[in-house]
Amino acid sequence: MTTTPDSTTSILIVDDMEENLVALEAVLGSLSQHVVRARSGEEALKAMLRQEFAVVLIDVLMPGMNGFETAANIKGLDQTKDVPIILLTGASVDPNYAYRGYTVGAADFLVKPFDPWLLRTKVNVFLELHRKNRQLAAQAEQLKRLLTSDEAAETAVAADHSAQAAEPFCAPPVPGTNPQHAQSVESVELPEPAVIAETPAASPAPPPDTAIPPGQDALTTAGAGEAARLADVVGQLTEIETMLRDAHGAEPPALADRIAELEQAVGRLLVSRGT
């Protein structure tokens, strides 16, 4: 399997013997990964707290803190509990070592002398798993940021809509006034409708020519009309008299007397009527 070198991915090898460390470095060199040494269990724990490792190879037989104890301590820390561990041991070991190794949380167990190809294959599997986990973690973080930004945007939009719904509608400003002094429709007080008192219609005044003088009734009014007609007759007779006199040059006595009598009669009629 071909792998791409990753300078951020490291392998930790733990053994108290220098020749074993050199041999492990030679086997793992073809993987093009950074290899860190540790000569004891304590040194291995310190190295794991300082940086991140994709996989750890630990020799079981070490003075002081042996491989099982070192593996147990690694699995007991929150920072390092997920790091896979491969335990290495010699040929003449207790058959129960493999069981103990898996009990403390080891991912694999190899007996020396081991096949270099087999060791590289197992280590490379854990390297690839480490890369995949890092990619998933990066994608999860990116998705979290996107969801957070979307929720923030939705919250802002909802708040904006709520503010617009709660804001009263403002009437447009009157031309020539300050827009800042515009009042909302709800705050404008409308004046009370004016009450117009009903006044009785004035009776139309009678025309001047039809007005009835005070103290006269309908009969008196009729008599006045007759007197006016009689006066008109007298006027016409006077004109006749004038025309006859001009025509004959002298006034006939009988006609003059007749006209005088007619005028006297008309005068009496007018007096009797009270005009």
Q: What is the pLDDT of residues 103-119, one digit of tens each?
A: 999 999 988 888 899 99
**Residue 67 and residue 88: Cα distance in Å, rounded?**
8
Looking at per-residue pLDDT, the higher value among 158 and 145 belongs to: 145
**Residue 72 and residue 86: Cα distance in Å, rounded?**
12
Q: What percent of the chain has pLDDT over 70?
A: 61
**pLDDT score of 205:** 52
Tokens representing 47 are 């190295």
Q: Check pLDDT > 50 for residue 98.
A: yes
**Residue 253 and residue 115: Cα distance in Å, rounded?**
188
Mean pLDDT of 75-100: 87
Looking at per-residue pLDDT, the higher value among 147 and 219 belongs to: 147
Tokens representing 13 are 């090898």
Looking at per-residue pLDDT, the higher value among 78 and 155 belongs to: 78
Looking at the DSSP bridge assignments, the partners of residue 268 are none
Model confidence at 272, in pLDDT bands (50, 70, 90)?
A: low
User: 176-222: per-residue pLDDT in tens?
Assistant: 555 554 444 445 455 555 544 444 454 455 454 444 444 445 445 54
DSSP β-ladder status, 34-38 and 10-14:
parallel
156-161: Cβ within 8 A, 24+ apart: none
Looking at the DSSP bridge assignments, the partners of residue 110 are 88
Low-confidence winner among 100-109, 131-140, 229-238 (lowest mean pLDDT): 229-238
**pLDDT score of 168:** 61
* Sign of CA pseudo-dihedral 271, 273, 274, 275: negative
Looking at per-residue pLDDT, the higher value among 29 and 222 belongs to: 29
Low-confidence winner among 24-38, 151-165, 231-245 (lowest mean pLDDT): 231-245
Burial code (b: 16+ CB inside 10 Å, e: under 16) for 111-143 equals eeeeeeeebbebbbebbeebbeeeeeeeeeeee
Looking at the DSSP bridge assignments, the partners of residue 240 are none
DSSP β-ladder status, 85-89 and 108-111:
parallel
- Nearest 5°: the CA angle 121, 84, 44 is 110
On the CB side of 198, CA atoms within 13 Å amount to 1
Q: Where are the beta strands (DSSP E) in the chain?
A: 10-14, 34-38, 55-59, 85-89, 108-111
Tokens representing 143 are 């998705």
Q: Mean pLDDT for the chain? A: 76
**pLDDT score of 263:** 74
Q: 206 — phi, psi (to 5°)?
A: -65, 145
**pLDDT score of 188:** 47
Model confidence at 3, in pLDDT bands (50, 70, 90)?
A: very low
